[in-house]
Amino acid sequence: MEDKAFLADLKAQKQTAFSRLLDDYQRKVFNTCLSFVPNREDAEDIAQEVFMEVYASIDKFREDAKLSTWIYRISVNKSLEFIRKQKTKKRFGFMQSITGSELPLDKTSYFTEFNHPGIQLENKEKSEILFAAINKLPEAQRVVFTLHRIDGLSYKEISEVTEKSISSIESLLFRAKRNLKKILTKYYKNEP
Protein backbone atom coordinates (compact mmCIF):
# COMPACT_ATOMS: atom_id res chain seq x y z
CA MET A 1 0.00 0.00 0.00
CA GLU A 2 0.94 3.65 -0.27
CA ASP A 3 3.09 5.48 2.25
CA LYS A 4 0.56 6.55 4.92
CA ALA A 5 2.45 9.75 5.78
CA PHE A 6 2.57 10.74 2.09
CA LEU A 7 -1.19 10.19 1.71
CA ALA A 8 -1.86 12.15 4.90
CA ASP A 9 0.28 15.03 3.57
CA LEU A 10 -1.59 14.92 0.25
CA LYS A 11 -4.94 15.07 2.04
CA ALA A 12 -3.63 17.95 4.16
CA GLN A 13 -2.75 19.58 0.79
CA LYS A 14 0.90 20.13 1.69
CA GLN A 15 2.93 21.56 -1.19
CA THR A 16 5.83 19.10 -0.65
CA ALA A 17 3.43 16.17 -1.07
CA PHE A 18 2.07 17.56 -4.34
CA SER A 19 5.58 18.19 -5.59
CA ARG A 20 6.38 14.54 -4.88
CA LEU A 21 3.13 13.47 -6.55
CA LEU A 22 4.08 15.42 -9.68
CA ASP A 23 7.58 13.95 -9.66
CA ASP A 24 6.23 10.41 -9.29
CA TYR A 25 3.26 10.59 -11.70
CA GLN A 26 3.72 13.42 -14.19
CA ARG A 27 5.30 11.30 -16.92
CA LYS A 28 2.88 8.38 -16.41
CA VAL A 29 -0.17 10.64 -16.55
CA PHE A 30 1.11 12.49 -19.63
CA ASN A 31 1.86 9.22 -21.44
CA THR A 32 -1.59 7.85 -20.63
CA CYS A 33 -3.25 11.03 -21.91
CA LEU A 34 -1.04 10.94 -25.01
CA SER A 35 -2.10 7.34 -25.62
CA PHE A 36 -5.72 8.42 -25.93
CA VAL A 37 -5.19 11.88 -27.42
CA PRO A 38 -2.03 11.73 -29.56
CA ASN A 39 -1.49 15.47 -29.70
CA ARG A 40 1.20 16.79 -27.38
CA GLU A 41 -0.45 20.10 -26.42
CA ASP A 42 -3.84 18.55 -25.76
CA ALA A 43 -2.27 15.71 -23.76
CA GLU A 44 -0.38 18.27 -21.65
CA ASP A 45 -3.60 20.20 -21.03
CA ILE A 46 -5.44 17.01 -20.04
CA ALA A 47 -2.59 15.95 -17.75
CA GLN A 48 -2.78 19.33 -16.06
CA GLU A 49 -6.53 18.83 -15.58
CA VAL A 50 -5.83 15.41 -14.07
CA PHE A 51 -3.54 16.90 -11.42
CA MET A 52 -6.02 19.71 -10.71
CA GLU A 53 -8.70 17.03 -10.21
CA VAL A 54 -6.39 15.03 -7.93
CA TYR A 55 -5.66 18.18 -5.92
CA ALA A 56 -9.34 19.12 -5.68
CA SER A 57 -10.61 15.66 -4.75
CA ILE A 58 -7.75 14.00 -2.84
CA ASP A 59 -9.90 14.03 0.30
CA LYS A 60 -12.35 11.73 -1.54
CA PHE A 61 -9.62 9.15 -2.28
CA ARG A 62 -10.47 5.90 -0.55
CA GLU A 63 -7.38 4.05 0.48
CA ASP A 64 -8.86 0.68 -0.46
CA ALA A 65 -7.26 1.10 -3.91
CA LYS A 66 -3.78 2.15 -4.88
CA LEU A 67 -3.17 5.84 -5.49
CA SER A 68 -1.73 5.01 -8.93
CA THR A 69 -4.94 3.19 -9.89
CA TRP A 70 -7.05 6.16 -8.85
CA ILE A 71 -4.83 8.55 -10.82
CA TYR A 72 -4.95 6.27 -13.89
CA ARG A 73 -8.76 6.23 -13.66
CA ILE A 74 -8.88 10.03 -13.57
CA SER A 75 -6.43 10.20 -16.51
CA VAL A 76 -8.52 7.83 -18.63
CA ASN A 77 -11.77 9.60 -17.75
CA LYS A 78 -10.36 13.07 -18.51
CA SER A 79 -8.96 11.81 -21.83
CA LEU A 80 -12.27 10.23 -22.85
CA GLU A 81 -14.13 13.36 -21.77
CA PHE A 82 -11.84 15.42 -24.04
CA ILE A 83 -12.44 13.05 -26.99
CA ARG A 84 -16.21 13.28 -26.48
CA LYS A 85 -16.03 17.08 -26.45
CA GLN A 86 -13.98 17.04 -29.68
CA LYS A 87 -16.57 14.83 -31.38
CA THR A 88 -19.33 17.18 -30.24
CA LYS A 89 -17.44 20.16 -31.67
CA LYS A 90 -16.99 18.35 -34.97
CA ARG A 91 -20.72 17.54 -35.14
CA PHE A 92 -21.57 21.14 -34.31
CA GLY A 93 -19.16 22.35 -37.02
CA PHE A 94 -20.75 19.98 -39.52
CA MET A 95 -24.23 21.22 -38.67
CA GLN A 96 -23.06 24.80 -39.09
CA SER A 97 -21.58 24.00 -42.49
CA ILE A 98 -24.81 22.47 -43.84
CA THR A 99 -26.95 25.29 -42.47
CA GLY A 100 -24.80 27.89 -44.22
CA SER A 101 -23.04 29.36 -41.20
CA GLU A 102 -19.99 31.53 -41.81
CA LEU A 103 -17.83 29.45 -39.47
CA PRO A 104 -15.48 27.21 -41.45
CA LEU A 105 -15.43 23.50 -40.78
CA ASP A 106 -12.03 22.36 -39.52
CA LYS A 107 -10.84 19.93 -42.16
CA THR A 108 -7.46 19.21 -40.60
CA SER A 109 -6.84 15.90 -38.97
CA TYR A 110 -7.13 16.08 -35.19
CA PHE A 111 -4.25 13.71 -34.64
CA THR A 112 -1.29 15.95 -35.39
CA GLU A 113 1.50 14.40 -33.40
CA PHE A 114 2.52 10.80 -32.94
CA ASN A 115 5.64 10.73 -30.81
CA HIS A 116 4.28 8.53 -28.02
CA PRO A 117 7.17 6.86 -26.22
CA GLY A 118 5.27 3.58 -25.90
CA ILE A 119 4.82 3.17 -29.66
CA GLN A 120 7.91 2.17 -31.59
CA LEU A 121 6.77 2.36 -35.19
CA GLU A 122 9.01 3.14 -38.12
CA ASN A 123 7.32 6.35 -39.18
CA LYS A 124 4.57 8.79 -38.30
CA GLU A 125 2.30 7.64 -41.12
CA LYS A 126 1.99 4.14 -39.66
CA SER A 127 1.37 5.67 -36.22
CA GLU A 128 -1.36 7.89 -37.63
CA ILE A 129 -3.06 4.92 -39.28
CA LEU A 130 -2.84 2.90 -36.05
CA PHE A 131 -4.20 5.67 -33.83
CA ALA A 132 -7.00 6.38 -36.30
CA ALA A 133 -7.93 2.67 -36.23
CA ILE A 134 -7.81 2.57 -32.42
CA ASN A 135 -10.02 5.66 -32.34
CA LYS A 136 -12.68 3.77 -34.35
CA LEU A 137 -13.02 1.09 -31.67
CA PRO A 138 -15.96 1.23 -29.26
CA GLU A 139 -14.96 3.17 -26.15
CA ALA A 140 -14.63 0.20 -23.76
CA GLN A 141 -12.45 -1.70 -26.25
CA ARG A 142 -10.35 1.41 -26.94
CA VAL A 143 -9.72 1.96 -23.23
CA VAL A 144 -8.70 -1.64 -22.54
CA PHE A 145 -6.55 -1.90 -25.68
CA THR A 146 -4.78 1.39 -24.98
CA LEU A 147 -4.10 0.64 -21.33
CA HIS A 148 -2.80 -2.85 -22.12
CA ARG A 149 -0.96 -2.54 -25.44
CA ILE A 150 0.24 1.07 -25.31
CA ASP A 151 0.58 1.82 -21.59
CA GLY A 152 1.63 -1.73 -20.68
CA LEU A 153 -0.77 -2.31 -17.79
CA SER A 154 -1.54 -5.85 -16.70
CA TYR A 155 -5.07 -7.27 -16.82
CA LYS A 156 -5.28 -6.86 -13.03
CA GLU A 157 -4.27 -3.19 -13.20
CA ILE A 158 -6.74 -2.53 -16.03
CA SER A 159 -9.42 -4.27 -13.99
CA GLU A 160 -8.73 -1.92 -11.07
CA VAL A 161 -8.70 1.20 -13.29
CA THR A 162 -11.85 0.35 -15.24
CA GLU A 163 -13.64 -1.46 -12.41
CA LYS A 164 -14.36 -4.41 -14.73
CA SER A 165 -13.66 -8.10 -14.12
CA ILE A 166 -10.53 -9.68 -15.57
CA SER A 167 -12.67 -11.92 -17.78
CA SER A 168 -14.41 -8.81 -19.10
CA ILE A 169 -11.00 -7.23 -19.79
CA GLU A 170 -9.89 -10.34 -21.68
CA SER A 171 -13.09 -10.34 -23.73
CA LEU A 172 -12.82 -6.62 -24.56
CA LEU A 173 -9.17 -7.01 -25.52
CA PHE A 174 -9.98 -9.97 -27.77
CA ARG A 175 -12.75 -8.03 -29.51
CA ALA A 176 -10.55 -4.94 -29.81
CA LYS A 177 -7.81 -6.94 -31.54
CA ARG A 178 -10.33 -8.58 -33.85
CA ASN A 179 -11.91 -5.22 -34.73
CA LEU A 180 -8.54 -3.57 -35.26
CA LYS A 181 -7.57 -6.36 -37.62
CA LYS A 182 -10.78 -5.78 -39.62
CA ILE A 183 -10.28 -2.00 -39.69
CA LEU A 184 -6.63 -2.24 -40.74
CA THR A 185 -7.28 -4.99 -43.29
CA LYS A 186 -10.03 -2.90 -44.86
CA TYR A 187 -7.77 0.17 -44.88
CA TYR A 188 -4.87 -1.61 -46.56
CA LYS A 189 -7.14 -3.32 -49.11
CA ASN A 190 -8.45 0.10 -50.14
CA GLU A 191 -4.96 1.62 -50.33
CA PRO A 192 -3.87 2.31 -53.91
Distance, in Å, from the CA atom of 52 to the CA atom of 75, rounded to the nearest integer, reads 11
CATH number given to 1-113: 1.10.1740.10
**What is residue 60's DSSP assignment?**
G
**What's the mean per-residue pLDDT of the chain?**
80
Residue 27 phi/psi, 5-degree rounding, is -65, -40
Q: What is the pLDDT of residues 106-120, one digit of tens each?
A: 333 444 455 555 544
Over the stretch 81-102, which tens digit does the pLDDT of each residue have?
A: 998 887 665 554 544 444 444 4
Domain 116-192 adopts which CATH fold?
A: Arc Repressor Mutant, subunit A (1.10.10)
> What's the farthest any 2 CA atoms get from each other in the chain?
60
If pLDDT is split at 50, 70 and 90, which confidence band does 132 have? confident
- The closest alpha carbon to 11, from 44, 33, 69, 2, belongs to 2
Q: Where are the domains of the chain?
A: 1-113, 116-192
